[in-house]
Chain A
Amino acid sequence: MTQDESEFHAVNPARLTGAEILWATLLGEGVTEVFGYPGGAILPAYDALRKFPIRHILVRHEQGAAHMADGYARASGKVGVAIATSGPGATNLVTGIATAMMDSIPMVCITGQVSGKVLGTDAFQEIDITGITLPVTKHNFLVSRAEEIAPAIRAAFQIAQSGRPGPVLVDITKDAQQASAIFDFAAAQPRAYTPHPMLHCTNQRLHEAAELIRSAQRPVLLAGHGILQARAGEQVRSLAERMQIPVGMTLLGLGTFPASHPLNMGMMGMHGESWVNHAIQEADLLIACGMRFDDRVIGTPATYAPKAKKIHIEIDPAEINKNIPVDIALVGDLRDVLEQLLPLLPGRDGSAWLRSIEESKGTAAVRDIRNLPDSGHLYAAHVMHDLWRITEGRAIVATDVGQHQMWEAQYYHHDHPRTLITSGGLGTMGFALPAGIGAKVARPDQEVWVIAGDGGFQMTAAELATIKQEKLKINIAIINNGYLGMVRQWQEFFYERNYESTPLVSPDFVKLADAHGIAGAAVRTRAELEQTVQRAREHDGAFLINFLVEQEDSVYPMIPAGSALHEMIRRPDQNPLIETPQDQ
């Protein structure tokens, strides 16, 4: 391997084929793993792969490759790389690319393309993938000459990671991979990154913001994904602690501010804690840190936080005043802005406001269900809670989308960043399994749990074979309620229980795992839960647990789409999961 490395060492200009340049450039960018699927137009690249110390994880569907690269990036903070051939290989990436785009994940996708001489002739497996991915990438490149490969790949890495991160696609024609050119890694360096020209954080604005924070009686800090992207966790914590500001989390913000911190109120929004939403509606100041006032968070703009002044700290100027008009926008890198803001904030006594939030919890306060008597029913909430307890909140959890995703967010308390991997913006079913694989490849020493519903799991279940082939120790929890649960819940609440097309017949997931050479077990009662989870954790190799949970349970509280944050649907009283303070 060392010989190979020296042969293609990044600093030595040498004549290489385009395919070799591709790998050498990736190596130079620090890539050690890629997720991909070969095919005709990318074959020259695959032919050259053996010369490079890069691990290739063969997926079962290109969507899986994109989600794996995405999960890899979310778990590690590095750029994830997915590779596919032209035509259907490239189009299969699209959902994964869009998922990464919506959540601002740094990712580079490489696709093969038909040779330059037949480009535009509807050649076999030709597709205009740069055209298709234009709205779902931060940028993309069509490369038709070997000389352009290294500069394009290097630019892609810079674009993917800089500013507000996002996915970049590089489409490389087959003849460009086959041709040769002088490879000079250093010379291929892109021009220096220039920040968005509309970043705007003047001293005057900082002082105005500081004054608002100092004089606020009922401030709330909204913690979003940007805290992770800007590595500003410490600064946000300083701000909250020094000024005694309670913190509400977005879904993608979970983990950026410790769940166990006394100032952490929990998740906001559609399925957020009632007291968090209540605090937002009562607040006289919102400090939004690296979040974008998504519609799942604000309910409806007209009724959102009507009493609050709003400070928006955000790196993307296009997000300012997009959904919610704000009073002060500090447009820049969150960490930089907070570093400048903190010296202006000496401290404050926030106890009255914190006390009133505590009181507002009332009977809704406690989600902790550990003291509930075992009624023989298994609820998804039990699974999430017990998983959190058994793993001591330390596992990386990759979720799918739907009810189980919200229950995970409510009951699995994330104290550490990069431990929740979930598709927030696009809400992509089928995300969990491949994203969990990506996370495990990125952080092999970490315990990884994939949590998926019975519906979403089947969308990308073929990646079980990838787990087997790559010998990955991944634990899989299927929250099996026999329905497309979240859709069923909407049908229950808003469509008069017309359960059209949501009951779901699934394969025996344990047998399915077995067919892939993966161990598994079914859990029907809470009594079996802990023992089975421990068995999974201790098992040498991947393990799948099929949790057969209560079929028609719903996620509470819920704010119907388009309603105000205080107009929430609460859990009905007769439900055994009614939360009372005594549960504490």
Chain B
Amino acid sequence: MLHTFVAYVEDKPGVLTRVASLFRRLNINIISLTVGRSERTGYSRMTIVADASDQAGHRIRASLYKLEDVAEVDDISGVSAVTRELALIKVAANVENRSGVFELAEVFRARIVDLAPESLMIEITGVESKIEGLIQVLNEKENRVLEVCRSGKMTMRRGHHTSRVLRAMGVASEPPAANDAYKGDESQAIHLE
């Protein structure tokens, strides 16, 4: 199954290698990995999508935490979350046939971000299936898709506050709240029964 992890990692050289190397060592293929600055100074946020066995989630998360540069890991496989991907798609289109592409872009709520005599560039954000849908219909028309650049998935839990955010808000300082946080993570807690 596909596992999705969100990790806060120190913004230092070599951290990406350490994270990627962990998956390599476990012989797990990374489907997509996005990294960027986060709301925390000095920390980057990664969204990692990997194809692994159903039981692998716990071990991957536990192993990620063993990396010194990893501050926090959230396993958000199967939880309510917003997932987005950004794609830039360059399509062969000239003055005769570009209006069809405009229409398609409209339907997919995509934007035209560059226009050249023989091509145009579409920017689209959305879930994976939406982006793949657009690429598919573009290929069905006479307009050839010349280039596709996809960001990989970015994911954020809906309505969930990480323990660190709660702490920053001064909520989770007492033990009961900390316990609640663990319960909230029941999907990733050690399930043995």
Interface residues of A (CB under 8 A from B): 130-131, 134-135, 138-139, 142, 159, 164, 196-198, 200, 316-318, 320-322, 325-329, 331
Given contacts A164-B66, A320-B190, 16 further A-B contacts (CB under 8 A): A138-B68, A139-B67, A196-B65, A197-B72, A198-B61, A198-B190, A200-B189, A200-B190, A316-B62, A317-B65, A318-B66, A321-B59, A321-B190, A322-B59, A326-B192, A327-B193
The distance in angstroms between the C-alpha atoms of A514 and B160, with both chains bound, is 72
Instruction: Give the shortest distance, in Å, between B58 (CB) and chain A (any CB).
Output: 7
The distance in angstroms between the C-alpha atoms of A389 and B119, with both chains bound, is 87
Instruction: Give the shortest distance, in Å, between B182 (CB) and chain A (any CB).
Output: 8
Contact B55 A197 (CB under 8 A): no
B17-25, B29-37, B90-98, B126-134 - the one binding chain A = B17-25
Residue of A with least CB distance to B66 = A318
Contact A317 B190 (CB under 8 A): yes
The distance in angstroms between the C-alpha atoms of A340 and B66, with both chains bound, is 25
Measured between beta carbons, the chain A residues less than 8 angstroms from B61 are 198
The distance in angstroms between the C-alpha atoms of A43 and B59, with both chains bound, is 42
The distance in angstroms between the C-alpha atoms of A244 and B29, with both chains bound, is 47
The distance in angstroms between the C-alpha atoms of A131 and B67, with both chains bound, is 14
Contact B192 A196 (CB under 8 A): no
Measured between beta carbons, the chain B residues less than 8 angstroms from A200 are 182, 189-190
In chain B, residues 1-30, which have Cβ atoms closer than 8 Å to a Cβ of chain A? 14, 17-18, 21, 25
Residue of B with least CB distance to A139 = B68
Among A139, A197, A322, A328, max chain B CB count under 10 A is at: A197
Instruction: Give the shortest distance, in Å, between B186 (CB) and chain A (any CB).
Output: 11
Identify A198's interface contact among B17, B55, B62, CB under 8 A.
B62
User: Residue B125 at the A interface, CB < 8 A?
Assistant: no
Instruction: Give the shortest distance, in Å, between B60 (CB) and chain A (any CB).
Output: 9
Known contacts A159-B68, A197-B65, A321 near B55 by CB under 8 Å:
yes
In chain B, residues 33-65, which have Cβ atoms closer than 8 Å to a Cβ of chain A? 55, 58-59, 61-63, 65
The distance in angstroms between the C-alpha atoms of A352 and B121, with both chains bound, is 79
Instruction: Give the shortest distance, in Å, between A226 (CB) and chain B (any CB).
Output: 15
The distance in angstroms between the C-alpha atoms of A190 and B81, with both chains bound, is 36
Measured between beta carbons, the chain A residues less than 8 angstroms from B63 are 318
Measured between beta carbons, the chain B residues less than 8 angstroms from A317 are 58, 62, 65, 190
Contact B190 A318 (CB under 8 A): no
Instruction: Give the shortest distance, in Å, between A77 (CB) and chain B (any CB).
Output: 22
Identify A196's interface contact among B14, B62, B72, CB under 8 A.
B62
Identify A134's interface contact among B18, B66, B189, B192, CB under 8 A.
B18
Measured between beta carbons, the chain B residues less than 8 angstroms from A321 are 55, 58-59, 190, 192
The distance in angstroms between the C-alpha atoms of A197 and B61, with both chains bound, is 10
Contact B190 A329 (CB under 8 A): yes
Measured between beta carbons, the chain B residues less than 8 angstroms from A328 are 192
The distance in angstroms between the C-alpha atoms of A196 and B71, with both chains bound, is 10
The distance in angstroms between the C-alpha atoms of A288 and B192, with both chains bound, is 15
Measured between beta carbons, the chain B residues less than 8 angstroms from A142 are 14
Measured between beta carbons, the chain B residues less than 8 angstroms from A197 are 65, 72
Measured between beta carbons, the chain A residues less than 8 angstroms from B193 are 327
Measured between beta carbons, the chain B residues less than 8 angstroms from A331 are 190
Among B66, B67, B193, max chain A CB count under 10 A is at: B66
Instruction: Give the shortest distance, in Å, between A385 (CB) and chain B (any CB).
Output: 41
A-B contacts, 15 listed (Cβ < 8 Å) = A134-B21, A135-B25, A138-B66, A159-B68, A164-B66, A197-B72, A198-B61, A198-B62, A317-B62, A317-B190, A318-B62, A318-B66, A320-B58, A321-B55, A322-B59
Identify B192's interface contact among A130, A159, A198, A329, CB under 8 A.
A329
The distance in angstroms between the C-alpha atoms of A159 and B66, with both chains bound, is 11
Residue of A with least CB distance to B68 = A139
Known contacts A197-B65, A317-B65, A320-B62, A130 near B14 by CB under 8 Å:
yes
Measured between beta carbons, the chain B residues less than 8 angstroms from A196 are 62, 65-66
Among B67, B68, B72, B182, max chain A CB count under 10 A is at: B68
Measured between beta carbons, the chain A residues less than 8 angstroms from B182 are 200
